[in-house]
Structure 1
Amino acid sequence: MTLFAHGLGGAADLPIPLTYALIGAAWALTFSFAVLAFAWREPRLDPDSPGIGVPEVVRSVVDAPVVRAGIAAMSVVAFGMVLAIGVFGPADPARNPVPGVLYIFLWVGVAVASLVAGPVWKVLSPARAVYRGYCALTRRRPENGLLRYPEAWGRWPAALGLFTFVWLELAAPNPGSVTAVTLWLTGYLVVTVAGLVVFGTPWAERADPLEVYSSLLGRASPIGRGAAGALVLRTPLSNLAGTPVGAGSVAVAATLLGSTAFDSFSLFPWWRALVSDAGLAPTLVSTLGLLVFIGVVGMSFRFAAAATGGLSRADRRMLPRKLAYTLTPIIAGYVIAHYLSFLVEKGQATMILFGDPFGAGWNLFGSADREVAYVLSAQPAVLGTLKVFAVVTGHILGVAAAHDRCLQLLPRAHRLTGQLALMLLMVGFTFTGLYLLFDA
């Protein structure tokens, strides 16, 4: 099983020439901004709106303590089994499902589930489950750690954790190594549980890379929480407007967006030749390339978000972190476009490997002879259209979210001109993203 062919497909998969797709996407984005500028003149997105209440029977089941406890127990057992398979299972990643668990189910599956159902990792997290057990034994409130989480840290620890993952996936010498993946998963569990013990649940909310990732994309879900924490349905943009902001928010968004772009870029033959010809330093070259992509996304967004008049220098410096969440729909669009076929098809291959996780000749679930159904790769035109639709929709929603927040943050005289640099940047992201997806 080859896990790392993320950018499945190319320009030939599109039902129209790539140039037309690029021009059409840019026009769609520009036209949407023009419509917003004239038809959306006051802030409309309210994360505290009552929404539509979810039926009581659904709420009672989802929030039932016994259900939450059962999910937590299964999460700990499942994570422990994955670590055991990583240690005692086959060393060949083509026969071991552990790399697929990390790269497919945890990275892509949790993201897609969060877009549908909200921040699911808060419920599925084995680290939170272990910590809740520890708090029950010590009779301690989960939100209270030994120390107070430093506000200045913000989400920087999560950004660093996310970078360790994307580095392992995109720049490490052997990203498919079962040992390397198992070590990352073990390190993630140890660091997260230790952080929870020291700082309480604020560590999970701000420093756990998987929870921050899941919570960020979960804000783009139609499912939210209303008064007293009740489940409600709202427009995704209204939920998105309630995204917490703080230090490190731009770094998290830049890491997610820049690494996805670099993943596509790394498939260019000339880049792969450059890396392979780097002698003893291919990992260094790949690491520098990854850092450049993340840095360009972060710095360009900081410049575009702060390029407005009518505000003091201190207020302008705060704009990037206050607008960083508006990149979430764009990140979601690229996740779907870049990894959809990967999730559907390589996910099947990973599940098949669970039929014999320890290489002992087992045939659990009767899956040994099952073949992967390439339902998306077999329809390249459909897949190409889905990719373009996901990217363009993500950018349009990002423009709408940014426009609404700018109406709140910018002086009335600069509400439109203050958004122009951000709008141009998003057009550039659209062009670059589609080009990398289909021409790499």
Structure 2
Amino acid sequence: MRRSNVRTLAAAGTALLATTLLAGTALAHGGGLRAAAGTLSVPTWLFLLTGGGVVGASFLLASFVTDRAFIRAVHSWRRVAGMRLDGVVTLTRVLSVAALLGVVVVGLEGPQSMFRNAAILFVWVGWWAGYVATVYLVGNSWPALNPWRAVSEWVPSLDRAYPEQLGAWPSVVGLLALVWLEVVSPLADDPRLLAWVVVGYSVITLAGAHVFGPDRWFGSVDPVARLFRYYGRVAPIQRGEDGLAVGPPGAALTDARLADGRDEVAFVVAILWVTTYDGFVGTPLWVDVAQAAVGVGVPAVVLYPVALLAGYALFLGVYWLAARSARETAETYLTPDAIARRFAPSLLPIAAGYHLAHFLGLFVSLSPALLAALSNPLNPPINPSVVVLPSWFGMLAVAFVLLGHLLAVWVAHTSAYEVFPGRLQAVRSQYPFVVVMVLYTMTSLWIVSAPSAEPPFV
């Protein structure tokens, strides 16, 4: 590895550790309602270094006890169900369109209390917390549910030529914009605002699909469809030409065609960053940083978008630095672009593990309120039930973060053996990526262990 790359990677790690190891004592919480999960007091430096050490040790274990034959045997195992679901897809799309209309109607006409409005609970608890988890834990069923695609396929489209130079970049911008809007606006508190945002998103999506055609729009531009497509590759169930097939989790992430350009690498890193950003702005550290920045004259209105873009640039820059460093450690003629494209999908289990850690508590806590609201959307119970999470629930968040990173290490290990002919070359190519994954691990663990705080100035 070049000395300059080592120094730069070390600087990034030092900056990260300066904000985490000095944070005091970790209070481990689980899920979105972290305050309800109980606490486990441990020294922060020990908590974080242990998590990072687990990831590093898993890389060493995989390097020493596996070979190509073992990896090939694991990833070639699959069982094909051969199920055809065409009729079911038609029904599920009709139901999803009805659900979309219901969200708008209930958001506008239902009770305006956050915990009683079925639209708020359905979107954030049922869809974003619960359904998204099924995409990476079971399989991607979004193509069978996508209400916007259903409507766009029911009407003729213009099928105009899509500007190829744009690639997947609009979906990167769209994903960052959606998460920024979710953070800075009361989308989770104001049912009417949520309804109008859904209407606006629907107008843009349906107009784009009408102009460029559903396949092109949902294949390149729509951030939600792309997010689910990538998350679905983490799951054990995949849909192919022969029907549904069951295989090891993460096996589909080693497909060399999954991220075939810089734009798609950027989207994968954006998935990882937005899950981190969503949690980071709810920590006491961010509260202190935001208040200090506004105190010295930084306009509050630019605080969150600047943090969003700066953090994304940092994540993306560190990943590309790792790709360039991997070219040196592996002593290969492959370009950094080729290496970055090949290893980018290994980041997806990290994002999935963090999403599960961050939102499982929210889903479990508010599921009774969701069911009660859905039973009578326009007149739900006045005092909905909420599940109080046990004290040990917070450790599940830690376990999900670590499991996601361990799967990421395995996927990167498998990809390296597919790309590089020599065993030592394959192992050495992973050094920079393992460093990055350890840093990501420690960052994720620190966020899920930090006490909850209300984001300021929003």
TM above 0.5: yes
SS at match of 1:232: strand
What is the percentage of aligned positions where both structures have the same residue? 25
Compared CA separation, residues 93 and 281, structure 1 to 2 (3 A): farther
Question: Which residues in structure 2 correspond to 1:38-437 (within 5 Å)?
Answer: 38-42=64-68, 44=71, 49=76, 51-54=78-81, 59-60=83-84, 63=85, 65-134=86-155, 138=156, 146-172=159-185, 176-197=189-210, 198-226=212-240, 228-242=241-255, 244-247=258-261, 248-272=263-287, 275=290, 278=294, 281-307=299-325, 308-309=327-328, 310-312=331-333, 315-358=335-378, 362-363=379-380, 370-374=384-388, 377=389, 379-381=390-392, 383-410=393-420, 412=422, 414-437=425-448
Contact 2:354 2:400 in 1 (8 A): yes
**2:435 maps to amino acid:** L
Contact 2:153 2:214 in 1 (8 A): no
How much is the aligned-residue C-alpha RMSD, in angstroms?
Answer: 3.0
How far is the alpha carbon of 1:208 from its aligned partner?
A: 1.8
Give the TM-score of the pair, scaled to structure 2. Answer: 0.80
SS at match of 2:114: coil
Contact 1:87 1:179 in 2 (8 A): yes
CA distance in 2, matches of 1:108, 1:187: 22
CA distance in 1, matches of 2:39, 2:72: 37
Compared CA separation, residues 161 and 434, structure 1 to 2 (3 A): same
SS at match of 2:430: helix
CA distance in 1, matches of 2:55, 2:286: 30
CA distance in 2, matches of 1:47, 1:108: 30
Contact 1:119 1:211 in 2 (8 A): no
Contact 1:7 1:264 in 2 (8 A): no
**1:392 maps to amino acid:** L
Compared CA separation, residues 26 and 80, structure 1 to 2 (3 A): same
1:391-413 alpha-carbon deviations (Å, 9 max, x no partner): 11111110111122122334636
CA distance in 2, matches of 1:291, 1:10: 31
Compared CA separation, residues 99 and 17, structure 1 to 2 (3 A): same
Compared CA separation, residues 87 and 9, structure 1 to 2 (3 A): closer
Compared CA separation, residues 328 and 203, structure 1 to 2 (3 A): same
SS at match of 1:93: coil
Unmatched runs of 5 consecutive residues or more in structure 1: none
Compared CA separation, residues 132 and 117, structure 1 to 2 (3 A): farther
How far is the alpha carbon of 1:37 from its aligned partner?
A: 1.8
Compared CA separation, residues 12 and 99, structure 1 to 2 (3 A): closer
Compared CA separation, residues 122 and 191, structure 1 to 2 (3 A): same
CA distance in 1, matches of 2:164, 2:68: 32
How far is the alpha carbon of 1:340 from its aligned partner?
A: 0.6
User: Is 1:22–2:48 an aligned residue pair?
Assistant: yes
CA distance in 1, matches of 2:421, 2:171: 32
Compared CA separation, residues 435 and 254, structure 1 to 2 (3 A): same
CA distance in 2, matches of 1:393, 1:434: 12
How far is the alpha carbon of 1:126 from its aligned partner?
A: 0.3
SS at match of 1:13: coil
Compared CA separation, residues 276 and 348, structure 1 to 2 (3 A): farther
Compared CA separation, residues 94 and 223, structure 1 to 2 (3 A): closer
Contact 2:409 2:434 in 1 (8 A): yes
How far is the alpha carbon of 1:11 from its aligned partner?
A: 10
CA distance in 1, matches of 2:74, 2:159: 32
Compared CA separation, residues 187 and 306, structure 1 to 2 (3 A): farther
**2:57 maps to amino acid:** F
Contact 2:184 2:304 in 1 (8 A): yes
How far is the alpha carbon of 1:123 from its aligned partner?
A: 0.8
